[in-house]
Amino acid sequence: MTQANFPNSFPLTHLDAQGQAQMVDVSGKVATIRQGVATGKVRMLPETFAAIQAGNTPKGEVLATARLAGIMAAKQTANLIPLCHPLPLQKITVEIIPDAQLPGYQIDATVKTKAETGVEMEALTAVSIAALTLYDMAKALEKQSQTAVQRKE
């Protein structure tokens, strides 16, 4: 695939003239304050949600662990996403908000830096890993709840 395949589109900065993947050269840009924001949701059974809210989980502090995992993941984004620039991150917040109507949690991440390129990938990575961690820590509860529901039927 080359730029010629996309005649009416914006230039694809991650492809060179031969269509090979390349890291974008941001060396000519001025470092400015940048912020990336991402949101995700994790749905679960009402019983699982109630157990997490009550702090009654076999693996410990689910929400604190998921929040910390999201923060740590944002800092590792350049190691996970090919061609992503390693950036000095000045601020990372991960909020995990309970939503009984879902039932589950909304995860909001905000990442800030002063650099030559944006931090949207870091915010998306933070939300993704926080969600995966929340799922991992709660999956035993889901299996227990589903088994209990199946036995009642």
- The rounded distance, in Å, linking the Cα atoms of 47 and 29 is 51
Beta partners for 39? 108
Beta bridge mates, 110:
37, 93
CB 119 within 8 Å of CB 56: no
With 0-12 CB in 10 A as exposed, 13-18 as middle and 19+ as buried, what is 123? Answer: buried
What is the distance between the alpha carbons of residues 101 and 46, in angstroms, rounded to a whole number? 9
Alpha carbons within 13 A on the beta-carbon side of 77: 25
Q: Is 16 one of the annotated active-site residues of the chain?
A: no
* Per annotation, catalytic residue among 16, 25, 108, 136: 136
- Known catalytic residues are 136
